[in-house]
């Protein structure tokens, strides 16, 4: 039996344009690269827990831990060493401290406030972003005041304003309302200014969707088991995109310095539309479910975890995001530092 003959090679095509020329070598690809991911693009979300020298893993988020305040300070120092500009704080509140109105949110000695003071005292040049919403503090797991089956908007905003002031007094650099109540940005901005916090920034969760991708986060802050019903009466319908633009416009008009789209990868179209329409600082939150999916697939050997992580973050930059909140932040920053 004779070997099969190789097919004859085709003659060269008469092409004026050969896009592959710009992809022929690493130096050429780097030279024409349209978007670049750096540590400057990252915000690291950190979960807080009571105690001292405590680090407890979040089971549904491999590699993510709840940290006591002293360990959060160490994490902030690590972030600063990696040139990560800012961290974002989220508390796991003791169930005994939760009530119908989220009163612990107004306690100047709550976890978030103590962490703010400790971090700004020891790592003053790191940015500290604090979450304004009542879900970590309510016994029903909602972001506002619950009456029957209704989340009361204006009554919730009044409490959120006091929560924002409480965090600003503790040293927060950026107030980030994630509750999706109507009018809360204007009310918070007015209150901050009236108390002299004119330089405290507001990063509005302007387009926050009622998503299935938040499950591991709710594990981390302890609200999954207590949440009554769902959040569809105040978080956005995943089917809507024009509505997101109206929400962003309202928040910017009311004084937001930055806006956020949440979740991230399933909503790249929203990020793109927001950036094109408003040209305002626009952030994406790569939420817990997105993180957990990549980690689970990587741990099962179904994909290259580091490559998938970096590709997913670059997608946010390509869509128009100026920065990304991601649990991958320290790992990404370390990889980028090694490759520099």
Question: What residues are annotated to the active site?
Answer: 208, 262
C-alpha to C-alpha distance for 59 and 294, rounded to whole angstroms = 15
Helices vs strands, H then E, count in the chain: 11, 12
Asked whether 247 and 207 are in contact (CB, 8 A), the reply is yes
282 has which bridge partners?
A: 259
Task: Look at residue 115 and give its three-state secondary structure.
Answer: helix
Phi then psi for residue 177, to 5 deg, are -70, 120
Please state, in angstroms and as integers, the Cα–Cα distance from residue 258 to each residue in 178, 209, 214, following that order.
13, 17, 22
Pinpoint the alpha helices (H) of the chain. 26-32, 69-81, 111-122, 153-169, 184-194, 215-221, 242-253, 268-278, 288-299, 305-319, 329-339
Q: Can you tell me which residue has the tokens 């807080």?
A: 48
Biggest alpha carbon–alpha carbon distance for the chain: 91
Q: Report DSSP state, residue 2.
A: P
Asked whether 85 and 333 are in contact (CB, 8 A), the reply is no
DSSP states of 232-278: TTTSBPTT-SHHHHHHHHHHHHTT-SEEEEESSGGGHHHHHHHHHHH
Quote the tokens at residue 14. Answer: 């008469």
Quote the tokens at residue 74. Answer: 């160490």
N- to C-terminal Cα distance for the chain? 55
| Chain length of the chain | 340
Quote the tokens at residue 254. Answer: 């009311």
């Amino acid at each position: 039996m004779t070997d099969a003959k190789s097919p004859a090679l085709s003659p060269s095509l008469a092409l004026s344009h050969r896009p592959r020329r710009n992809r022929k070598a690493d130096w050429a690809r780097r030279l024409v690269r349209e978007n670049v991911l750096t540590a400057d693009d990252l915000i690291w979300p950190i979960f807080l827990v009571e105690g001292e020298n405590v680090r407890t893993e979040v089971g549904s988020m491999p590699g993510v831990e709840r940290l006591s305040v002293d360990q959060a300070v160490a994490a902030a120092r690590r972030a600063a060493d990696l040139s990560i500009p800012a961290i974002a704080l989220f508390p796991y509140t003791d169930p005994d401290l939760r009530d119908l109105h989220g009163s612990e949110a107004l306690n100047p000695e709550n976890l978030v406030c103590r962490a703010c003071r400790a971090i700004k005292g020891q790592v003053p040049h790191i940015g500290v972003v604090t979450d304004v919403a009542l879900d970590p503090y309510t016994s029903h797991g909602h972001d506002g005041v619950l009456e029957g089956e209704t989340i009361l908007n204006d009554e919730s905003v009044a409490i959120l304003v006091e929560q924002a002031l409480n965090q600003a007094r503790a040293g927060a650099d950026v107030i980030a309302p994630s509750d999706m109540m109507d009018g809360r940005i204007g009310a918070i901005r007015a209150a901050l200014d009236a108390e002299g916090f004119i330089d405290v920034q507001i990063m509005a969760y302007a387009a926050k969707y009622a998503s299935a991708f938040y499950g591991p986060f709710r594990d981390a802050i302890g609200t999954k088991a207590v949440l009554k019903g769902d959040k569809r009466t105040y978080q956005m319908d995943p089917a809507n995109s024009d509505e997101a633009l109206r929400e962003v416009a309202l928040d910017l008009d009311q004084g937001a310095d930055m806006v956020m789209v949440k979740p991230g990868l399933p909503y790249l179209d929203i990020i793109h539309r927001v950036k094109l329409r408003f040209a305002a600082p626009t952030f994406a939150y790569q939420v817990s479910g997105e993180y957990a999916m990549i980690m689970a697939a990587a741990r099962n050997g179904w994909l290259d975890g580091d490559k998938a992580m970096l590709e997913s973050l670059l997608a946010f930059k390509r869509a128009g995001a100026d920065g990304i909140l991601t649990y991958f932040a320290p790992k990404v920053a370390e990889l980028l530092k090694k490759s520099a």
